[in-house]
Structure 1
């Protein structure tokens, strides 16, 4: 099964050396599940020919805001809607979660509750998932047809399901402790409050549910529409 990774931003240079770019993180997260991956750097205006190019899609995180006036955002929204029309499975992470919601008619804002960084616990109904996060923006108005399937006190709309073919989450299952530490050191200072960064660093040694969320994601991508 061929999964197209729509890369909407790039990791800091220090992470490119340590872990690779965001597409590499997803390929590693989903390793062993039988996927073939192809990356499209949509942030650099590199788009697939159409929504049928791949069997399923992942929309990555980004330092950008879904509401920003950036050249890649309108064609990405068009592609998201086209993928939705084909009923091919699509997963969105952080910015991907937000841009899919916006493309489908929801609203994304710079949340007045501030930054959410590091290890967070989310309620997924019958189970909880502990996942690393890195965001200030949030989906505050749901698109038509979307329903909430994961949340916590700091992020009400943390995971959304659209029918049975689009699943999106606000946190970052692809981020391990190395990634969070590098972001806290190289991208956070002067942007994220020091107390929030310190709290994230204090939790770096604690476990997160990377493998469990990867299994959930893989099962979702493999399901028949």
Structure 2
């Protein structure tokens, strides 16, 4: 089964040599699931011809905001709608979560409550999962038909299911402690010092990345023929 990975941004240069790009992190998270992968750097205006180029799709994170005037964003939103209409599974994480919500009629803002960085607990109904976060932007209005499947006190819409074939997640199951450390070192200039200090202190905390990766894989596998 081929998973198409759409990259609307690149990992920081300072960590990419050791940890790879965002697509590499997802390939490691989803390893052992009998998937093959192909990636398109949509941030560089490199797009697939359409939904049929993969069996299922995944949109990664990005340092960009979905409300910013990037020339590639309208095309990505249109591709989101095409994938949804095709019935193929689509998963979005962080920026991916936000751009899917926006493309389908929701609203995303720079959250007035500030940042979430490092390990956070999320209520998924059947379990509480600890996952790394790194964001200020949030989905603040749901797209039509969205069902909230995870939240916490800071992030009301932390994970969504939309229709039969869309799963979106605000935190980062692909981010290891090493990645959070790299973000602290190289992309934390706008994050309050107290949050940075707590995230650094929590770097050794256990996360449930593998469990959420398994859930993502099960969702993506719905596209297998």
Q: Report 1:8-23 matches (<5 A).
A: 8-23=8-23
1:51 is displaced (CA, Å) by 1.1
Cα distance between partner residues in 1 of 2:192 and 2:105 = 31
1:121 is displaced (CA, Å) by 0.3
Q: Which residue of 2 aligns with 1:223?
A: 222
1:6 is displaced (CA, Å) by 0.2
Q: How many residues align?
A: 224
1:97 is displaced (CA, Å) by 0.2
Q: Which residue of 2 aligns with 1:140?
A: 140
Quick check: 1:196 aligned with 2:192? no
Which blocks of at least 5 consecutive residues in structure 2 are unaligned? none
Quick check: 1:47 aligned with 2:43? no
Quick check: 1:105 aligned with 2:81? no
Cα distance between partner residues in 1 of 2:49 and 2:112 = 38
Cα distance between partner residues in 1 of 2:117 and 2:80 = 27
1:14 is displaced (CA, Å) by 1.5
Cα distance between partner residues in 1 of 2:193 and 2:17 = 25
Say if 2:146 and 2:161, in contact at 8 Å, map to a contact too: yes
Cα distance between partner residues in 1 of 2:196 and 2:90 = 31
Say if 2:55 and 2:223, in contact at 8 Å, map to a contact too: no
Q: Which residue of 1 aligns with 2:82?
A: 82
Q: Point out the more displaced range, 105-114 or 9-18.
A: 9-18
**What do residues 118-174 of structure 1 show as CA deviations (whole Å, max 9, x unaligned)?**
000000111111100000000000000111000000000000001221000000000
TM-score (norm 1): 0.98
2:156 is paired with a residue whose SS is: strand
**What do residues 178-221 of structure 1 show as CA deviations (whole Å, max 9, x unaligned)?**
00000011111x21111111110111001000110110000000
Q: Report 1:144-223 matches (<5 A).
A: 144-188=144-188, 190-223=189-222
Q: Point out the more displaced range, 39-48 or 13-22.
A: 13-22
Q: C-alpha root-mean-square deviation of aligned residues, in Å?
A: 0.9
TM-score (norm 2): 0.98
Ranges of 4+ aligned residues in structure 1 off by more than 3 Å: none
Cα distance between partner residues in 2 of 1:138 and 1:117 = 13
1:224 is displaced (CA, Å) by 4.8
